[in-house]
Amino acid sequence: MPPRRLPAREAPPLPRLRSVTGLAMVFLALVCLSLLAVQGWSSYSARQNYLDEANRSTVNMARALADHAEASINLVDTMLLGMVERVQNHALVNDPQRLHTLLMNTVSRTPSLQGLFIYGADGRWLFNSLPATPPHANNADRAYFEYHRTHVDNKTHVGIPVRSRSSGVWVVPVSRRLELPDGSFAGVVLATIKVEYFKTYYESFAIGERGTIFLASDNGRFLVRRPFKEQDIGADLSRGPVFRLWRETGAPTGSATMRANIDQVERLYTYRRLPNYPLVIAVALAKDEVLARWRTSAMAALAGTLCLIVLLLFLGVRMIGQLIERDRLQRQLRAATTALEATNASLQLLAMSDGLTGLANRRHFDDRLQAEFKRAVRDQSPLALVILDVDYFKRYNDRHGHVAGDACLRAVAAAVLSGQQRPGDIAARFGGEEFTILLPGTDLAGAMLVAEKVRAAIAAQAMAHDASPFRVVSVSAGVHACIPQRGEYPRTLVEAADRGLYQAKAEGRNRVCAAEPSQHAA
């Protein structure tokens, strides 16, 4: 049995790599997802800002356009009221030249006006602002004329644009009914506002390529629209998004994002009803155009974020790769260190043990003897030594051969090892067929007991030794115990035990003797 082994130093366990790389991956994924989430959220907020801003601008434009339409019609309405007053009171009717001049001057000073007209009850042209009246001209067929002929009210009528019979341009007819004192129909006064006037104003607004502005009657007929197309004039848009919204809300103004029936473009609409006339103005911006700038900047930001994520992933994956590599190297190093430590331990063991018996060798015994002797001096504790020698071993070798001799020594060593019972005890091969047992903290009586036990154990093995008078293998043992003092040396202990052995041999072998003749025991 080998001497006590020094326990191999336990290396601290390495952190589990899988959990570290897993954490790193989760962290990387979280960082990337957070970047995407922040980017997504800021893009979404920016998009909402763009839409809100566009909505605000359509509300403001609708307000300005409604004011403009209201003011334009108000102006000509005031003129019409004056004309009605003058005609019905016959103030100027009796002076046609003066009335003509008045109408001409009024039109020339009002850029929005195309002309002013007074028609009789049969539709004939009575007075107008034109330089010359076309012969046999009659407007009884016009819608506004029919309206006033059949409607007894003094309200202003704003009609669907018509192409002027005098100038050929598109005009919005604004008219009032003329009555005789008895309330019967006497004709119509008409002011025509150039469609061009509205068109020019509407074109001054920045509403993009696919934005739209339109003025419509409250029963859903186009008056003027940007972009201007002649075929749109009078078209029915009562089923369009604006009138649908108006019908739903019933409010004088409203906004919503809807798709147009005409061109299927999705737009941000705001409509506003004119307070004093049966008209509705609406302005709309194409959602696509509103979001175009946002889309460009969102794409740029997204591209930047994606580049950042790719870079992060690249660096992260490399970092995780290095973690794995570092862990692999650490494990290799640990394995190599453990193997080296095991080799060292077994080398140390080999250096300390006897090759034949496996007991501690002489060198190790000497080291331990030195150390225990010093400890006993320090602690003033007893230290005992047993030296055992196989009896007639030369004869054994001669009789049974060296191989059997070696086997005999191994069997004796096993018995000697049984004497090593406490942690501090050490059994060693002293040399040749001699063995020792060092017993720290043991007095002479204890050591005698241990020696006797070992001797008896060897005798009990009853290994045949034909050349011995005992016929079996036996050992003699010398024992000495003392409390070592300063100035004494370990060799005194060995010499004393050796003297005990000498005495045991001298007294006939197969016995245990203490160093002092008076203390020996058989």
Ligand X SMILES: Nc1nc2c(ncn2[C@@H]2O[C@H](COP(=O)(O)OP(=O)(O)OP(=O)(O)O)[C@@H](O)[C@H]2O)c(=O)[nH]1
Q: What is the DSSP string of 190-230?
A: EEEEEHHHHHHHHHTS---SS-EEEEEETTSBEEEEES--G
Interface residue with ligand X among 153, 406, 466, 516 (CB under 6 A) is 406
CB of 396 to ligand X, least distance (A): 7
Is residue 432 within the footprint of ligand X (CB under 6 A)?
Answer: yes
CB of 446 to ligand X, least distance (A): 26
Considering beta carbons, is residue 389 or 452 the nearer one to ligand X? 389
CB of 14 to ligand X, least distance (A): 47
Interface residue with ligand X among 402, 410, 422, 491 (CB under 6 A) is 402
Query: 480 and 493 in contact (C-beta within 8 Å)?
Result: yes
Instruction: Using the rule CB under 6 A, give the single segment among 15-23, 237-245, 298-306, 394-402 that binds ligand X.
Output: 394-402
Residue closest to ligand X, measured at CB: 405
Question: How far, in Å, CA of 107 to CA of 405, rounded?
Answer: 149
Is residue 397 within the footprint of ligand X (CB under 6 A)?
Answer: yes
The H-or-E segment that residue 281 falls in is strand 279-286
Considering beta carbons, is residue 241 or 478 the nearer one to ligand X? 478
Is residue 505 within the footprint of ligand X (CB under 6 A)?
Answer: yes
Interface residue with ligand X among 50, 222, 392, 430 (CB under 6 A) is 392
Considering beta carbons, is residue 288 or 434 the nearer one to ligand X? 434
Type of residue found at 478: G
Restricted to residues 372-391, the positions that interact with ligand X (CB under 6 A) are 389-391
Considering beta carbons, is residue 233 or 515 the nearer one to ligand X? 515
Considering beta carbons, is residue 295 or 505 the nearer one to ligand X? 505
> CA distances (Å), 229 to each of 78, 209, 225, 233, in order?
30, 15, 7, 7
Q: Is 325 exposed, middle or buried (0-12, 13-18, 19+ CB in 10 A)?
A: exposed
Q: How many residues bind ligand X (CB under 6 A)?
A: 17
Interface residue with ligand X among 155, 247, 394, 491 (CB under 6 A) is 394
Tell me the pairing of strands 113-120 and 125-128.
antiparallel
Query: 218 and 280 in contact (C-beta within 8 Å)?
Result: yes
Instruction: Using the rule CB under 6 A, give the single segment among 30-38, 163-171, 270-278, 395-403 that binds ligand X.
Output: 395-403
Is residue 318 within the footprint of ligand X (CB under 6 A)?
Answer: no
DSSP 129: S
Query: 475 and 454 in contact (C-beta within 8 Å)?
Result: yes
Beta bridge partners of 273: 280
SS3 for 433? coil
Residue numbers of the site for ligand X (CB under 6 A)? Answer: 356, 389-395, 397, 402, 405-406, 409, 432-433, 505, 509
